[in-house]
Amino acid sequence: MDIRLLTVEVRFEQDVVLARGRSRQIASLLGFDLQSQTRIATAVSEISRNAFQYGGGGRVEFIVQDAALLIKVSDKGGGIKDVEAILAGRYTSTTGMGLGIVGAKRLMDKFVIESVVNETTVTLTKFLPKQTPITPEILQKIAQELAQKTPENLYQEVQQQNQELLRTMEELQSRSSELARLNSQLEDTNRGVVTLYAELDDRAESWQKASEMKTRFLSNMSHEFRTPLNAILSLSQLLLERLDGELNSEQEKQVNFIRTSALGLSELVNDLLDIAKVEAGKVTIRPQQFEVSDLFNALKGILRPILNQSEVNLVFDQPQNLPMYTDEGKVSQILRNLISNALKFTPKGEIRVSALKQERTIVFTVADTGIGIAPNNLELIFEEFVQIENPLQSQFKGTGLGLPLCRQLAQLLGGNISVESKLEVGSIFTVTLPCVYAEEKETVSPQTPIKVLIIDDEQISRYLLKELLKSLTIKVTEAINGSEGVIKAILEQPQVIFLDLVMPELSGFEVLEQLKANPTTKHIPVIIHTSKQLEPEERDRLINAQVVAILSKDLERPDAEAIIRQVLLKAGLHLNI
C-alpha cells in the first residue's frame, strides 16, 4: 500500500525551509512524538539543502508505505561521488556535504542513496509509531488536511528551530549531569573491581593449594582403604566357599550383604584413586597398537555376566580394519564405564556400541534407549559426586565419579566426551579420541594457538571474555560489529566464534544466518555469549542454527572459566590448558 501524502518542489533556498516545516507537520499528523518530529524535519532539511546546493534544486515526496513513512529527495544534478566513503564516515568535505548525509542517516531508521549523473535519489525511512492507525481512508484524510494546511513562513520556522534547539540544550545539560554521576559511580565500581580481582587471585591460590591437598589426601587414603577392603573381600569369599564349615541360610545372606557392601566401597576407592592420580599428573600412558574390533570382543567377554541378568540387548557394531595407537586399557575403561551406566539406566531395549574413523580421530558412541537425561543436567553429570535424582537411582548405588573419570581419561588421551539425550527416549555418549596418541615429547612442544573470533560491540565484554580465555593457548581476533565479524570470519577462518546477539545495524541472529549460509564459514562452531534474556522462540532459532552453546555474560568468573572450557571441548577443540 503506497499513499502519496505531499510533494514539495525545491527551487529556491526558502523551499528548503518549507520542506522542513512540511516534514514536521506530516510527522505530527502521523502520530510521531516531538523528538521524532525534530529528527525527521532535520534529516529532510539536510538532504533538501544538498539537493538545492549541489543538484540545482529538486523534489521532496512524502509517501506512506506499509507501516513506514518514506521521504524521497531527488535531483537532476551531477550525482554524488564517493557515496560509500561518505556513508562509512571516511569522506572529508570542505563544504560539509558528507557530514550532512551521515547525520541524516543516523536520524532515520533506514537510509538509501542511489546516485548517477543526472539522477540522485535519497530515500529516508522512519517506521510509524505502533499506535498510529493505518488505513487508506485515514491517509487520504491526512493528505487532504496537508493540502489545506498553510505552510509555515520563514519566521515561524526559525522560531520553531530555536525552540527545538533550546529543548535539545536542556536535554544535553541533563544528560551531562547524569553522565558525571555515572562516571563517579564507575570510578567507585572500578576501584571495587580492582579490589575484587586481588581477592580472587588470593582465593585462587588458596583453592589451588586446597585442591592439591585434597588430591594427596584422596591418594593416600585410597591406598590405606585398599588393604582392609581386600581382607574383607577375601574373608567373605572364604566363608561363601564353605572352606571353614557350612553356613545356614541367614548367615549366607549376611555374608553376601557384607561382600556386596565391600565391593561397592572398593569401587568407590578405585574411582577416587584413579581421579587422584589423574589430577596429580601421575597417570602413565602406555600406548600400543591394537584393533578396535579386538577391543570390542574383549568388552563383550567382560560384560557377559552382567548381561545374563539383564533384559537389555547389547549390540556391538563390529568395525573392520580400525587400528589405534593409544592406551588400550584406558579406552576400555572409558567404554566399560559408559556401557555400565547405560545398563543401569536402561530397564529394557537396546544399547548399541559403535566406532568410526573421522579424519585423524576415532569416534566411539554408546547409544541407549533408557530413561534419558534432562537438558539442564547434561553438564552436571560430568561433575564429581553428582547423581541425578531418579527412581532408578535407588536401585543402583553409584559413586558419582564414573563419568567425571571418563572425561578426565579421554582428555588425558587427547580427546573429549559429549552427550546428547532426551527424556524417556535415550542417551548417546560420544567419545572422540586421536587415532595416534601424541607422545609426551610432542605434547609438551609448542602448540598452534586456537584461533578465536569475538564478535561484540561492547569493548568491556570483549575484554572480560579475553580474560576468561587467558589460561588457554589462543589467538584472539576481535570484531566490533556484525558486518565486520562476518568479513573477519571469512578472511581469518577461526576455529571458534563467540557471538553477541544485541548489536546495532546487524544483530547476532543475522550474523549467524550469514555465517551458516556461507560455505566458507558454515562449518565454524559458534558459541552465543550474551546478556539478553532469550524468549523460547529465540532459543529454538539458535538451536536450529546448531550453535554449540548459549552462554550468559552474567556467569561468575570461576564458573565461567570451567563452563567455557567444557564448551570449547564440546566444539571439538583440543585445549592446551
CA distance 252 to 140: 98
Residues 318, 200 within the same domain:
no
Residues 469, 389 within the same domain:
no
Assign 31 to helix, strand or coil.
coil
Q: Is the pTM of this model over 0.85?
A: no
At 366, the pLDDT band (50, 70, 90 cuts) reads very high
The DSSP code for 400 is S
Average pLDDT along the chain: 81
Which residue did the predictor score with more confidence, 272 or 120? 120
pLDDT of 337 reads 87
Asked if the model's pLDDT at residue 86 lies above 70, the reply is yes
Please count the structural domains in the chain.
4
Asked if the model's pLDDT at residue 474 lies above 80, the reply is yes
Helix (H) or strand (E) holding 293: helix 292-307
Mean pLDDT calculated for residue range 481-493: 91
Residues 195, 319 within the same domain:
no
Residues 431, 469 within the same domain:
no
pLDDT of 440 reads 47
Residues 460, 555 within the same domain:
yes
Q: What is the pLDDT of residues 52-66, one digit of tens each?
A: 988 889 999 999 988
CA distance 410 to 431: 7
CA distance 34 to 25: 11
Give how far Cα 362 sits from Cα of 437, 548, 571, 575, Å.
11, 21, 16, 18
Assign 552 to helix, strand or coil.
strand
Instruction: Give the range of the structural domain holding residue 371, as residue numbers without chain letter.
Output: 288-440
Cell representation of residue 370: 533408557
The answer for residues whose C-beta is within 8 angstroms of residue 91's C-beta and 6 or more apart is 82, 85, 98
In a domain, 313, yes or no: yes
Asked if the model's pLDDT at residue 276 lies above 70, the reply is no
Q: Which of 412, 440, 468 is the last residue of a domain?
A: 440
CATH number at residue 147: 3.30.565.10
Mean pLDDT calculated for residue range 285-312: 82
Asked if the model's pLDDT at residue 456 lies above 90, the reply is yes
Q: Which of 408, 440, 472 is the last residue of a domain?
A: 440
The answer for residues whose C-beta is within 8 angstroms of residue 504's C-beta and 6 or more apart is 457, 481
At 264, the pLDDT band (50, 70, 90 cuts) reads low
The answer for residues whose C-beta is within 8 angstroms of residue 25's C-beta and 6 or more apart is 146, 149
Mean pLDDT calculated for residue range 162-185: 68
Residues 294, 279 within the same domain:
no
Which residue did the predictor score with more confidence, 396 or 409? 409
Q: What is the pLDDT of residues 414-429, one digit of tens each?
A: 999 999 999 889 999 9
Residues 371, 452 within the same domain:
no
Which of 167-171, 333-337, 543-547 is the least confident region? 167-171
Residues 143, 9 within the same domain:
yes
pLDDT of 282 reads 61
Phi, psi of 197 (to 5 degrees): -65, -35
pLDDT of 444 reads 37
Q: What is the pLDDT of residues 216-254, one digit of tens each?
A: 665 555 556 666 777 787 788 888 888 777 888 888 888
Mean pLDDT calculated for residue range 503-509: 90
CATH number at residue 255: 1.10.287.130
% of the chain at pLDDT higher than 90: 24
CA distance 385 to 404: 9
Which residue did the predictor score with more confidence, 279 or 249? 249
Angle of helix 328-344 versus helix 402-412 axis, rounded to 10: 150
